[in-house]
Structure formats: C-alpha cells, structure tokens
Amino acid sequence: MSNFFEHQDRAQSRTGWLVFLFVIGVLGVTVSITLLTAVFMPNAIPAAIVVSFLIIGIPFAFKLLTMSSSGALVAESLGGIRINPASQDVNERKILNVVEEMAIASGMPIPPVFILDEDCINAFAAGKTPQDAVIGVSRGALESLTRDELQGVMAHEFSHIFHGDMRINMRAIAAIFGLMAIGYVGYFILRSTMFGPRTRKTDGKAVAGIAIFGIGLIVIGCIGTFFGRLMQAAISRQREFLADASAVQYTRNPAGIGGALRKISAQASGIMHHAEASQFNHMLFSQGINTLFASHPPLAERIKRIEAIAGGVLPESSISKPTQDDPQSNDSRGKTDGRMNPIAGNLVASFAAVGSVPARNLARVQAEYSVCDKSLISAAHDPNGALAIVLAMTLSQDQTKAAVQRKIIATKMPEIEMAVNHLEQTVRKLDTQERLAFVDVACATLVFGSADVYKIFRATLSESVRSDGSISLFEWVVMQILRMRVELPMAIRGGFVAPVHNANISQVAASARRALGVIAIFGSDDAEEAKIGFQSAMKIAGLEAANMPSKEECTLDLLAKDMDQLETLRPSAAGIFIKAALSCVAADQTTTDREYLLLRALSERLSIPLPPTQ
C-alpha cells in the first residue's frame, strides 16, 4: 500500500542525481564557452558566461513548462496521433481494450493512447501523475505483438506511471534539451555564415571567425549531449528492471513481456527514426536510439531476469504470431460463466493494492467485458453515447421522478434522448462497480470531446439529478468523477493551473474532520459504532480528538467543498487519510455500497487510484 504514496512523494523530490548531472553539465558547457570566447573575444568573457546560462536556462524552462503541462505533448512531439476510442481497426481496438482493462482494474483514469508511425516495437508512458498520463505505442508493436505480449508491454508502462517515473522523465527531458541547446545555436551560426546573404563589403576573415566560433559551439554542444546521455542512462536502467518485474506481477504471465522483449532482440526493432526520439530515449520501453551510454539494460539481461521469475526458459507460445481474432473475444481473457459481485469484496485489500494492477482484478475485468452488453461498450466509446450513458446511469429508480428527468433531457439535449431511453434498462442491470466502470470509460471519451457540448451536458445533468430537490449518493459520486476525469483536464488544457499537492492533514483539519464524520455516519446505522469508527479514524489521521459532526453538518454539498481542501494533500498524507477513512468502514465489520461510493469519491478527489474491491 505505502509503496504508491512513497513513490509519488519521492517523485516530487527524487531529483538529486538528476540535478547533480545537470549542474555538472551546465558548468562544463559554461567553462568551455568561456575558454572559446577568450580566444576570439577576450573582452566579452562576462557576457559569454551570462549568455551561456541563458542559452541553457531558457530552453530548459520552456521545455519544463510545456512538457509538464500534458503528457499528450510528448506523444505529439514524437508524431503521435491519438487513437479514436471508437476505432474498429483490429490492432487499434486491441491496444485500446488492453489499456482500458488495466486502467479499470487499477482504478486509475483511462489514459488516451497515441500511435506512433514507427516500424519498430516500442512504447512509453508520459505525464506528471496517473491522472494526466498518456500511452504511446508504435505501429510496429501493434502489428508484431500478440495480445498477451502487448498486455505485458502495457503493464510495464503502467508500472512507470505508478512508481512516479513519469515525473522524473519529464524533468529529464527539459534538462537534456537545455544542455543540447548550445549545439543547436552553434549549428545555426555555422549555417548562417555558409548560406547567409553576402556583399562585396563582407569581411571574409570575420565570416571565417564566426564560422569557427559556430563550429566551436557545436563541439561544446557535444559536452552537453554527453551529460544528457549520461543523465538518461543514470535515471533509466534500474527502473526498467523494476517495471519488467511489475509487469509479470500484474499479468501473472512472464511469457507476455518476455515474448515482446524476445521479438525486439530478434528483430533489432526498438530503434525509432523520428528526429525528436533522442530527447525521449530514457522513457521508452526499449532503447530507441543508438548511443554511447545505453539508457536501458541489455535485452538479454532483461529476458534472463524474467525467465528467472518464470522459473525457467519462457515458453515458445510467448513469441507466436498475432492472430486477427476480435480482441474482445480472445480466449486468453479468462471468460467465466457468470458475473461476480465485487462490492462484497474487501476494501482493505483494494487499498493495499493502490498503485498496481491487481492480477485478480484484471482477470475479472476481462471476464466481465467478454459477457458485457456490446451496445454499452460501443456507446461508451462514442461521444454522444458517452453522454447518454452518464445520463442513463443517473436516472432515478422511481419512475415518476425518472419521467421528470427524461423530460429535462428531451428539452435540453434532444439529440441523445433516444439513446438515453435505449440504454436505461440495460444499465439498471449493472451492479455499482460495473456502473462506475462504464462512467470511467465514458469519461475517457468525453475528455477529448467538444467543450461547448460538455457544458450543455453538465447543465442538463445537474438539473436532472436535482429535479426532485435532492441528490443521491451515486449521482454525487458521478459528479466527482466527472470533475476530476473530464472537467479538470479540460480546464488544464485551457490554461488552468492544477492544484498543488503539498499540504499535511493538520493544515486541512476542519475539512478532514467533516469528511471522516460523513463516512462514519453514512457507513453505519448504529450511532455508537459510528462514533467509535470516527474516533479511530481521527487518531489514525493524527488529528486531535473531537466530537463527531452532526448529521446536519454532514451533507454531500458541504463534503464537496471540504474536498476542495483535501485534494491539496501531499500523496503520503492522502494515503494516511484514506487509511483513516477505511477504519470508519471497518468499524462495523461490514462493507456497503454507500461506504464504497464515499471512498471512491474521496480517492478520486485525492488523485488516488483505488482499485475496485476484489
């Protein structure tokens, strides 16, 4: 359990080695430029030092700001094109299903998938947090790998997401870009002297001097490149072994990731040809460029370690040719004859699995997909269908109230009225976690949809759920999920600055007290048990003993405002707070839908990927 929170905390500060190499690189480049300037322009040495810092610092800051804002920018920098969630291409559908299943099984938002027009077998994960992660995968990987092998590669990338590696990678991209900028400046100067306009009055010696100065900068740029490559090697190699082992843990299938690595080794097909690939080499599944310092461990060593986990040589089936079967009906997905009732599972076990893809969950999600109504899956991947699913999910069980809601939908969004009516009976057959899973899938579709259409939808949804003067717990939880998985990403793309997660529980004590009170009151019908659970939770949260809030204080609307404060908690503090909330749930030794829904909303707002109960 604590690993996820420790990794996320460490990702905010685990940059010591990165900073050391960056500083050494900056000093090396600056000293070299100073010496070069001393030869050509001795009087300009102070200016040269300042210019050196600016040439490195400005590109570094620019790259850090731009790349840190969105993982999608990394994918687009490599020529990636986002795969339409509704795509029916066999290979694209295969990767979308694999990523979707893993995200649902782990409780994290479903990351968009970008396809790179590269023949090699490679992939990456990019972003700052699990909430804004994206997956990139080469066309060669889609065409060459079986579903099991692709699942192994994706499990490897999900490990990078959960272990906080993406944040380090994004900072490294900026540092490497800054160090290599001197070489680009030298190239520009040299090119200008060779191809720039000239007149009879042009001083040939001056031009030659400038050209030599440009060549000198290019040579100095090699120093920056040297430290950039060294930086990539330093931060990547050991993390790849950890991600490989995690992939086996998540999938329980060493042959999957092992087969993918074997194919890369056999075909020597990890090398990418995009001009920007060198900047992102350290974050790829396998080494993407040929360089002096290997950014990844040798493929043979990675395969050897996976074989050790498997207990011997990997089975040959791991490198079989991919089939053209419909990915949704693949026999390897572990079909079952009936549905499971996951809400009866153990929330404590789910919390212990935070920051991973529980293999049991993954198998269950795959089984559920294989027997699920295909019209629901299709609707969740379609922009209008996704809107209709969320509205259908929030229709009241009371037919009189539902009739009022349908009328509101027909008035506000007549274009999806029929779809809502068609889906209503189907969604009523789903249990709580299945319904939320489809809301999650719908969010992944809506987040890249029209902002104007979404505003109309959001207003329609708000009016619909409050049409009877109140809001149910399930409806409220859906609102929280939409806020975090659709509205916040849309706002960030529009320039909104995301909340900073650096607070301790003591700094938001009042909000923490009320949130724990809501969970205690909603989770137990016995007042004494609720008080016991509340006091236990306060102690675990490290807060002073206090009276439990009254029922009048514990409304969902007030809790939503408290969550605005709680979502600023640093990852480790958020983990402690969720653990405290779980003690409320465990007080009466039972787990109800209400308790799960509250914990799901709380974990959503705290950016904690809480896996479904097992």
Active site residues: 157
Distance of CA 170 to the CA centre of its chain: 13
Strands 123-126 and 113-116: unpaired
* DSSP state string for 410-469: HHH-GGGHHHHHHHHHHHHTS-HHHHHHHHHHHHHHHTTS-HHHHHHHHHHHHHHHTTTS
Both tokens assigned to 6: 């420790």
Between CA 461 and CA 323 the distance in angstroms is 42
Establish how many alpha carbons lie within 13 A of residue 227's alpha carbon, considering only the half-sphere containing its beta carbon.
Answer: 26
* Angle made by CA atoms 152, 102, 423, in degrees to the nearest 5: 140
Q: Helix and strand tally (H, E) in the chain?
A: 26, 4
Residue 340's nearest CA partner among 56, 22, 580, 105 is 105
Between CA 128 and CA 171 the distance in angstroms is 10
Residue 604's nearest CA partner among 586, 583, 588, 581 is 581
Amino acid making up residue 136: G
Between CA 517 and CA 531 the distance in angstroms is 9
- Residue whose pair of structure tokens reads 């990852």 in the numeric block: 571
Strands 123-126 and 134-138: antiparallel
Between CA 247 and CA 158 the distance in angstroms is 8
Q: 3-class DSSP state for residue 28?
A: helix
Both tokens assigned to 540: 């675990």
Both tokens assigned to 39: 């030869």
Residue 229 near residue 179, CB atoms below 8 Å: no
Between CA 252 and CA 148 the distance in angstroms is 11
**Residue 77 host element (H or E):** helix 71-77
Between CA 155 and CA 150 the distance in angstroms is 9
Residue 565 near residue 508, CB atoms below 8 Å: yes
Secondary structure, 3-state, 486-531: HHHHHHHHCCCCCCCCCECHHHHHHHHHHHHHHHHHHHCCCHHHHH
Both tokens assigned to 154: 């994706």
Residue 391's nearest CA partner among 442, 437, 347 is 442
